Amino acid sequence: MREVSFGQYYPSGSKVHALDARVKLLLTIAFIVMVFLVKSLYAYIAVAAFILLVTLVSRVPVLKVLKSIKAIIFIVIIMSLINLFANAEGKVLWSWWILTISEGGIITAINLALRLIFLVMGTSLLTYTTTPMELTDGMESLMYPLKLIKVPTHDIAIIMSIALRFIPILMEEVDKIMMAQKARGACFDRGGVLKRAKALLPVLIPLFVSAFRRADELALALDARCYNATPNRTKYKQAKLGWGDLVATLVTGVFITLVVAVNNNFWGLY
């Protein structure tokens, strides 16, 4: 199977992997909020240190976490460029035609780039250390309040987990079909964009056919086992909060406090 570096589960059996998915989800949300509050360079260093710490504890290779940036690098560059030219506050450093670069522009561009990068690194750490199943179970559990206003949270969760479960299956299927067509002389990496897109047709059509077939089969199998989303379903894996979750929450809490303090120059560092 091909390698997918974006947010694929990376088992290493670390303490971070063992945390409750709900706790990890909430902490990730807290982390995202924190990243968007940060303004000063020192605070960014603290955020980077925090990510490094979590990465080391989770025993996911640092390089793998860094690689997750690759997926968004274009967005980062484009957004930074737009911000660089759009913000004209402060001293003007360079100007040509309608383009001007000012101090304010540079600062917002750097801010934005760092925020996006830290955002993706933080969330990819979540998916590296949490299986899709744990994640959806966690989300279902966190969505509990919505159940009170008759939102079908369980249905949403099962749809999500089925969708996630099917990604690797369909990718394997793509590989298989591509190989079969290659064996018949198909070529996917030659010619212009149009030719390449057309060359994918012999892969996409069988893929769609098989996706529908699988969906039908799955629906039948669920029916055959009398699956329904009754309110009192039990879980095979019961999520329980443990001491590790408390420690993780405390550590993250301390870090967030620290970052906010540094950000607001609480100790007069700069």
Q: How far is the CB of 7 from another protein (least distance, A)?
A: 15
Our finding on whether 197 is near another protein (CB under 8 A) is no
Which range binds another protein by CB under 8 A, 50-58, 136-144, 145-153, 199-207?
A: 199-207
Give the three-state DSSP class for 189.
coil
Q: Name which position in 28, 124, 181, 252 contacts another protein (CB under 8 A).
A: 181
Q: Name which position in 180, 241, 246, 250 contacts another protein (CB under 8 A).
A: 180
- Bridge-based pairing of strands 92-96 and 99-102 is antiparallel
Our finding on whether 255 is near another protein (CB under 8 A) is no
Q: What is the 3-state secondary structure (H, E, C) of 98-118?
A: CEEEEHHHHHHHHHHHHHHHH
Q: What are phi and psi of 95, to 5 degrees?
A: -150, 140
Nearest to 19 by CA among 123, 119, 122, 126: 126
Which helix (DSSP H) or strand (DSSP E) does residue 199 occupy?
A: helix 193-199
Spatial contact of 34 and 79, defined as CB atoms under 8 Å apart:
no
Spatial contact of 140 and 157, defined as CB atoms under 8 Å apart:
yes
Q: How far is the CB of 187 from another protein (least distance, A)?
A: 7
Q: Name which position in 184, 225, 237, 240 contacts another protein (CB under 8 A).
A: 184
Residues 109-168 that bind another protein (CB under 8 A): none
Query: Measured from the CB atom, is 117 or 125 closer to another protein?
Result: 125
Our finding on whether 10 is near another protein (CB under 8 A) is yes
> For binding to another protein (CB under 8 A), which residues are involved?
1, 3, 10-12, 176-177, 179-187, 201-203, 205-206, 209-210
